[in-house]
Amino acid sequence: MNKNLTQKLSKPIIKKVAIIGAGPGGLATAIALKSQGVDVQVYERAQQFRPAGTGLGLAPNGLNALNAIVPGIVETLKSSGCEVNHTVLKNIQGETIRTNQTKYLEQYGQPLLTVWWYRLQQVLASRLPSEIIHLNHRCIGFHQDENGVEVYFDGQKPVHADLLIGADGVNSVIRETLFGEGQPNYIGSMCWRAVIEYHHELFNDYQLVFVKGDKQFMYILNVGGGYTSWISRKFSPDYSLSQNADEVKSRILQELADWDKSFRAVVEATPAEQIWEGPICDRPPLTHWSQARVSLLGDAAHPMAPAMGQGANTTFEDAYELAECFSDSATIEAALTSYEQRRIERTKLIQARSAVGEIRYYDDFTSSNHTQQQQMTLNNDFHKWVYSYKPSVVR
Ligand SMILES: Cc1cc2nc3c(=O)[nH]c(=O)nc-3n(C[C@H](O)[C@H](O)[C@H](O)COP(=O)(O)OP(=O)(O)OC[C@H]3O[C@@H](n4cnc5c(N)ncnc54)[C@H](O)[C@@H]3O)c2cc1C
């Protein structure tokens, strides 16, 4: 965390913080608060850190936020992931429709990086003392009063904290306990994905390949270290899940039956049990994320469709801003009010745009040039606004 912020916090207003979830959001927030002298403890349901999650695109807004929390981390992520200089759009026959040289660095001061969720988790966890990350702690609820929050876990002792942050993802127990909304919304897109050690000459010159089919598309990302992340999505008004891993693999290969063998090969090379199948979901935006001593962050606060690749990026913005608010405010209530004011409107717009973008992915190439041009201008303006986010205290 930068020096100005640490200096402002000579008297932290909270001593002990419990964070639920050791994903990108929980870990980044823990680093940010810990560097302000706060006693932070992170509780994660997984029994151990293990290869999981998808390939993520980290964009300038997320990288700027993360770099303000952990100066220099972008350099580490470049070596744990992959800097994207070239992207390519292909059709399902494998023919190139368009290639692009990315201009993020020139336009926004940070590159586009691709990184495996698991590697990102490892990089962030390595910045924290291991004893403050408590694995095998599945949170099942909490109780709060004016003295603090009691947090409950499945089969583990409860813990007490001054502040509880739910960074426990789209199916957040903390959000459910606060607002009781039930299941997330299915937004009409089914997803199959995996990360495997894989190389194909087709991907030599491009770090990111996007293949557009009929109501179906696939991303193939180089996520560094010899690993490839593939993500296939299909428009599907209703969804059903396969019964077992072998069925998942046969199903996705069936979905790609007409696709060029280079695309099918990456799926064929993936062990069935490593393929994740599931619906793409979001939730309606909330008007508040907090109640008294409890608040939300990342996917728990604003789960969004992956169309814009902004879930983790906006999560890092949350982590930075939350820590800033605690450094600036005299009470927990003031800090959380300020956090919501800084975050809800922005993430609401990005959530809405991501949901529209997810379905727009399935538009065919035949819309008129004029419509495509109008759409591109709107997208460019929106992307500019998203990527231009800068932490308020810049190093
Ligand atoms: C196909 C796909 C592609 C994506 N692409 C991008 C992209 O390109 N760029 C981008 O920025 N984002 C992308 N995202 C979104 C990104 O993965 C999420 O927004 C990001 O991981 C959110 O971080 P988080 O820490 O809030 O939640 P999560 O990553 O979901 O982490 C939550 C953590 O909490 C733990 N947990 C859950 N419940 C409990 C409990 N009860 N008790 C204790 N621990 C618990 C989980 O085990 C997990 O470790 C993509 C998502 C998908 C599905």
Cβ burial, residue 285 (10 Å; 0-12/13-18/19+): middle
Strands of 21-84, DSSP E: 39-43, 55-58, 82-83
Distance (Å) from CA 169 to ligand 1 centroid: 5
* Tally of CB atoms within 10 A around 214: 11
In single-letter form, the type of residue at position 22 comes to A
The pTM (predicted TM-score) of the whole model is 0.94
Class for the domain spanning 3-53+118-183+283-387: alpha beta
Q: How far is CA 23 from the centre of its chain?
A: 9
Distance (Å) from CA 149 to ligand 1 centroid: 24
Give, in order, the Cα–Cα distances in Å from 33 to each of 69, 167, 173, 251, 366: 9, 14, 22, 45, 50
The domain locations on the chain are 3-53+118-183+283-387
For residue 81, what pLDDT band results from cuts at 50, 70 and 90?
very high
pLDDT in tens, 377-386: 668 889 999 9
Residue 115 pLDDT > 60: yes
Give the nearest ligand 1 atom to 43 CA: 43
What percentage of residues in the chain have a pLDDT greater than 90?
86
| Four-residue CA torsion sign, 267, 268, 271, 272 | positive
* φ, ψ for residue 36, nearest 5 deg: -95, 5
What is the chain's mean pLDDT, rounded?
92
Top mutation candidate among 19, 43, 44, 313 for ligand 1, by most atoms within 8 Å of CB: 44
Of 5-9, 90-94, 147-151, the poorest mean pLDDT is in 5-9
pLDDT of residue 238: 86
pLDDT in tens, 9-62: 456 789 999 999 999 999 999 999 999 999 999 999 999 999 999 999 999 999
Beta-carbon contacts of residue 366 (< 8 Å; ≥ 6 apart): none
Give, in order, the Cα–Cα distances in Å from 150 to each of 153, 166, 290: 10, 13, 16
Distance (Å) from CA 109 to ligand 1 centroid: 25
**Is the minimum distance from the CB of 22 to ligand 1 under 6 angstroms?**
yes
In single-letter form, the type of residue at position 237 comes to P
3-state secondary structure of 323: helix
